[in-house]
Amino acid sequence: MHRHHAAVSALMRTVADAVVMPRFRNLAADEVLEKTPGELVTIADREAEARLTEGLAAIDADAAIVGEEACAANPALMAQATAARAWIIDPIDGTANFAAGQPPFGIMIALVEDGVTQAGWLYDPVTGRMCHAALGGGAWVDGAPVRARPSMGARPLAAVSKVGQSEEEHAARAARFGAAFDLVPLPRCAAENYPRLALGQNDIAVFRRTLVWDHAPGALFLREAGGYVGRWDGSPYRIGDDGVGIVAASTPALGQRATELLFD
């Protein structure tokens, strides 16, 4: 496990208990804002990010801190994600679910050095599940090692995100995938998506938009569990590259099959 594992995990649990869960199903109308059309932010996102930022600075003061909400206010901060060392924070992943009073949502943190994710944490405050991975060191769920496995149904289960593309593009892609796989709804929460691929619940997830805080922690977790994460053209996913999209899958073979189907 990563040397900061215990400290970061404890911080995430503390912030979930103190800030996130007390606001769940308990938000006033003026505590939910639209930061861009269709993109919500709540008072809990902002308070959680502030607390996480403070806590991570105490754990490793030399690392830059790149939070989703800080970047919304100052997009120039994004450049720090590929700094010598950076903490990447998604204070509440799945804000639309959280604001609607529905799980899943999660807190995610990644530690990145020179554009390479060294460690990732994905915490589900409702169930208390903590997923963690360290580069070259494996993946764990609640402290137990995990190896990615397919769902074992008659056909693989695939979820295709609509975000970042036209309805027509999405419909065409979903139709191609529907011929080879059983389509399942996307949980609109990367902190849930990536664990599903490792835990035998889903087999494939396809994303067009790939913001660093949404994908850095889960991509490392899935890869360290033996699953597949790559760009739409089959190249490796790397933070700060100009690659398009992500295909994530429970096995490399399924990842390859999904990538081939993308543009057939």
Place 37 in a pLDDT band, splitting at 50, 70 and 90. Answer: low
Phi, psi of 112 (to 5 degrees): -120, 135
Is the domain of 69 the same as that of 106? yes
Task: Read off φ and ψ for residue 12, nearest 5 degrees.
Answer: -60, -40
Are residues 56 and 132 located together in one domain of the fold?
yes
CA distance 58 to 145: 28
Same domain, 114 and 9: yes
Same domain, 56 and 174: no
Count structural domains, the chain: 2
Residue type, 217: P
CATH number (domain holding residue 229): 3.40.190.80
Question: Per-residue pLDDT averaged across 8-24, rounded?
Answer: 94
**d(C-alpha 237, C-alpha 239), whole Å:** 7
Confidence of residue 32 (pLDDT cuts 50, 70, 90): confident
Q: Which residue has the tokens 């899935």?
A: 222
Could you give the CA distance from residue 106 to residue 200 in angstroms, rounded to a whole number?
19
- Confidence at residue 234, expressed as pLDDT on a 0 to 100 scale: 95
Q: What is the pLDDT of residues 214-231, one digit of tens each?
A: 999 999 999 999 999 999
DSSP 51: H
Residues 144-152: what's their mean pLDDT?
A: 96
Residue 50 has pLDDT above 70, yes or no: yes
My answer on whether 201 and 255 are in the same domain is yes
3-state DSSP assignment of residue 221: helix
Please identify, among 145, 176, 193, the residue that sits at the C-terminal boundary of a domain: 145
Question: Does residue 127 sit in the same domain as residue 40?
Answer: yes
Distance (Å, rounded) from C-alpha 183 to C-alpha 201? 13
30 and 108 co-located in one domain: yes
Question: Quick check: 237 and 229 in contact, CB under 8 A?
Answer: yes
CA distances from 216 to 22, 113, 180, 255 (A): 27, 12, 28, 18
Residue 161: give the domain boundaries: 157-262
pLDDT of residue 176: 87
Given pLDDT bands bounded at 50, 70 and 90, which one contains residue 263? Answer: confident
pLDDT at 248: 98
| Tokens coding 36 | 């861009």
Which residue(s) pair with 126 in the sheet?
none
Q: Among residues of the chain, what percentage have pLDDT more than 70?
A: 98
3-class SS at 205? strand
For residue 152, being part of any structural domain is answered with no
Q: What is the CATH number of the domain that holds 39?
A: 3.30.540.10
- Asked whether residue 207 carries a pLDDT value surpassing 80, the answer given is yes
Could you tell me if 136 and 27 are in contact, meaning their C-beta atoms sit under 8 angstroms apart? Answer: no
Is the per-residue pLDDT at 251 higher than 90? yes
How confident is the model at residue 72, as a pLDDT? 84
Residue ending a domain, among 145, 170, 203, is 145
> Which among 145, 176, 211 is the end of a domain?
145
Check whether residue 38 and residue 141 sit in a common domain: yes
The answer on pLDDT for 107 being more than 90 is: yes
Confidence of residue 237 (pLDDT cuts 50, 70, 90): very high
Mean pLDDT of the chain: 91
List C-alpha distances in Å: 185 to 106, 161, 206. Answer: 18, 9, 12
Asked if residue 127 and residue 245 are part of one domain, the reply reads no
Please indicate, yes or no, whether residues 121 and 186 belong to a single structural domain of this protein: no
Which residues fall within 8 angstroms of residue 25, CB to CB, at 6 or more apart? Answer: 101
Q: What is the pLDDT of residue 42?
A: 74
Instruction: Please report whether residue 120 resides in a domain.
Output: yes
